Chains A and B, each alone.
Chain A
Amino acid sequence: MEHKENHIVGYGTYIFVWLTLVALTALTVTVANFDLGNFSIVLALAIASIKALLVMLIFMHLKFDDKIFRIFVFIAFLTLAIFLVLTFSDYSFIR
């Protein structure tokens, strides 16, 4: 299991990702001003997730590393998701 030692991400790619992150930040602040009811938090989390994904894939090099790292990260987030969903099996259904 070797990761691709030779891939160096260029400054241009990094700056482009940064610009996207800033734009998404502007987006999330803007949409927060609208009353979208329950959808507000879904949207906020979706935007935050895209930002986090960009940071992980490009800044943290996951896109260019061996597949095993992406699998590991997926397992970690899956674990958190399971904790959340099962806990809400309690809270969402209290009479």
Chain B
Amino acid sequence: MNTLNVPIDGNGSDGNHLDYLHSPKKYKGILNWILSTDHKKIGILYLISMLTFFSVGVFFGFLMRLELISPGKTIMEPQTYNQIFTLHGVIMIFLFIIPGLPAVFGNFFLPIMIGAKDVAFPRLNLFSWWLFILGGFVALVSLFLPGGPADTGWTFYIPYSVRTSTNVIPALIGAFILGFSSILTGLNFITTIHRLRAPGMSWFKMPLFVWSLYATGWVQILATPIVGITLLLVAIERWFGVGIFDPALGGDPILYQHLFWIYSHPAVYIMILPAMGVISEIIPVYARRTIFGYRFIAFSSLAIALFGSLVWAHHMFTVGMSDTAMWIFSLLTFLVAIPSAIKVFNWVATLYKGSIVLEPAMLFALSFIFNFTIGGFTGLMQGALALNIHIHDTSFIVAHFHYVMFGGTGFGIFAALHHWFPKMFGRMYNKRTAKISCLFMFIGFQLLYFPLFIAGYLGMPRRYYDYLPEFHIWHFISTVGSWVLITGLIIMFANLIIALRKGEKALANPWGGVTLEWTLPSPPIHENFETIPTVDKEPYDFTHYQELEEVKN
């Protein structure tokens, strides 16, 4: 008999500890959350703040698509449009996708998955979140300053970023602070994985999500400081008129681009690697099979982190680099596709002869594979020099990166949310509604972005406020797609928020997973484990699945 109000199906504790949401408090009220060093609470803090920023970003996207539904002015002036797409990019990239999975699910589940009580540096973890909030605030304060937010695009290219009279410095400083937040999270995770694995949890017994967080952590540590210093230099140049990048003072705008992309390309691997890790967690569970090629997937994460750091100048093929640089970077870009493709092949191979269950998380995961394949493949296309000259700075590029970042990582976040929601909150959501939301989002997503491939190929430039009538049909379909997608998002979030209050109490292991988090009650107790487990099983060992099935029933 347990005194918890969470039903345990034999896999959890004996019920004498309260779960982490209700554990004995050091502080009262909101302080209990914003001063907590519990990795689970910090993960939730990130979740709430990130989804808030995401909503603002979606709103700006919605406005952009409204403006573009027809040629000429629709709802805003050109200057405003430039500021909105800049903020849309800054928010989505620095406040949603980059922190994304590591900050929420990495924080919540990394310690649990390796059998630890918390991360290596819990107070540093809380500090990371505080930096995240501060950075977001500084970046968004530009909305309210005279001159309005920056209109440079999130890429802040020289020379315009040192010439424009809009508020570039808050955006730069905000991004710098957010970079620090990202670095500290990566630092924390790397140390945690090296030092806090439970007895028996060797490197090759770790879940693949942990491998992806490890690879991501290295990129966060080694790449982020470059953009940190670069953006700081632009801010210093604006403020003091120093002479670093400004061509009027002898500076080199191409050097700025090199430095900017040396981080910002690896950044996209910070975005995608954890999402791939999530898919590697989800597919085995809902296919009831061990993952195909565990070591290949683990090593491919490291390979993507390494090779992904070597390809940055493929963003610069049209600026006048040397031919030598161009073919080197094109070749490296082709190479980085290989480890990514290995993952896709392995996921699909896992599905083969599996017992597939189409729960909501699985639907999102399958959507990820579909979207990422399109996004990844078009990325490969862009890596080809001849084609790149034609489609650079068109909406083809916009479609590509939304397919990988949103269709990929975005859907990966939603998949993770639906997979782990019961564990995190102890409640189950309405699965049918969740599946409907996935359908709306999937269809809306294709309608929103696929036409942009076509329009881009036909010559539609990106970041353009206005366009020729021949592109109208594609923009029209795209904008309608945005409405369908947003409907799906609203359904999804409403479903989950309602579940928080009214959802059925969740089981410890509603999906039949075999990683350590599913051995804990839903939600877990404060210290995660009553006793640190000793690990002796292979990861993704579903041979005892029949037993699990019986216990669940």
Contact = CB atoms under 8 A, between A and B. Distances in A.
A–B direct touch, CB within 8 Å, in complex? yes
A26 to B, nearest CB: 32
Interface in A67-95: 68, 75-76, 79, 82-83, 86-87, 89-95
B329 to A, nearest CB: 8
A1 interface: yes
Contact of B310 (A76, A82, A93): A82
B262 interface: yes
B324 interface: yes
A86 B313 contact: yes
A93 B313 contact: no
Contact of B325 (A76, A82, A89): A89
A72 to B, nearest CB: 9
A92 B222 contact: no
Contact of B321 (A68, A82, A83, A90): A90
A92 B322 contact: yes
B226 interface: yes
Given A76-B222, A95-B322, A90 B194 contact: no
A89 B310 contact: no
Contacts of A87: 258, 262
Interface string B204-228: 0000000000000010001000100
B323 interface: yes
Nearest to B325: A90
A89 B322 contact: yes
A79 B328 contact: no
B322 A79 contact: no
A1 B194 contact: yes
Nearest to A87: B258
Interface in B312-326: 312-313, 321-325
A89 B324 CA distance: 6
B528 interface: no
Contacts of B194: 1, 68
A86 B322 contact: no
A82 B258 CA distance: 13
B70 interface: no
Given A75-B222, A76-B222, A83-B262, 14 more contacts: A1-B194, A75-B218, A79-B309, A82-B309, A83-B226, A86-B310, A86-B325, A89-B324, A89-B329, A90-B254, A90-B322, A90-B325, A93-B323, A93-B324
Contacts of B310: 82, 86
Nearest to B311: A86
Given A1-B194, A89-B328, A94 B322 contact: yes
A55 to B, nearest CB: 20
A75 B221 CA distance: 11
Contacts of A79: 222, 309
A24 to B, nearest CB: 28
A61 to B, nearest CB: 18
A70 to B, nearest CB: 15
A90 B258 contact: yes
Nearest to B263: A83
Contacts of A92: 322, 324
Nearest to B223: A79
Contacts of A68: 194
B484 to A, nearest CB: 42
A44 B325 CA distance: 27
Contacts of B321: 90, 94
Given A82-B310, A86-B313, A87-B258, A93 B322 contact: yes
A68 B193 CA distance: 14
B222 A93 contact: no
Contacts of A83: 226, 262
A91 B322 contact: yes
Contacts of A93: 322-325
Nearest to A79: B222
B313 A90 contact: yes
Contacts of A94: 321-322
A83 B218 CA distance: 15
